[in-house]
Amino acid sequence: MKYSIDKQERFTIFNLKEDKLDSTIAPQLKTEFLTLNAEGVKNIILDFSDVKYSDSSGLSAILVANRICSQAGGLFVIVGISDHVRKLITISQLDKVLTLLGTVEEAKDAVIMNELENELRQEGNE
C-alpha cells in the first residue's frame, strides 16, 4: 500500500496513493488507522484524491477510522472523493455518518472548529 502521512499538531493528513481501495488494501489501511490512534492521533484527514474506486471492504476501513476518531473526541474527514466513491458512500447512506469535504484546507478548518467546540464544552462542564 502506498501512502504518506503528515503529522501536524492538531491533525494528521493521511494521503492514500492508490487507485483502488479494495480487499487487498483495506486491512492494511485499518491497521494504519489503529496505529495512528494508538499513537494519540484523534483527528485524521484522509486525502482520497488518488483513489478512483472503493468497494465495501474499503468503506469498512473508513468506518473504523471514523469510529476511533469519534471515540477519541476527534474528527475524521475525507477529502478529494471521486464521483464513483461518492456514489458508493451515498448509496450506503454513509454520507450521513461521514464528514466529506472538498479540500484539505476545509478539513483543517473543520478539525480546528471541532477542537474549539470540544474545549468550550469541557469548560462548560467544569
- Cell 454520507, located at residue: 95
What digits encode the pLDDT tens for the residues 70-90? 999 999 999 999 999 999 999
Count of the separate structural domains present in the chain: 1
Q: Is the pTM of this model over 0.95?
A: no
What digits encode the pLDDT tens for the residues 46-74? 999 999 999 999 999 999 999 999 999 99
Dump the DSSP string for 29-49. Answer: HHHHHHHHHHTT---EEEE-T
Gap between the terminal Cα atoms of the chain: 44
pLDDT at 125 over 80: no
CATH of the domain at 51: 3.30.750.24
Burial class (CB in 10 A: 0-12, 13-18, 19+), 36: buried
Write out the residue range of the structural domain in which residue 87 sits.
3-125
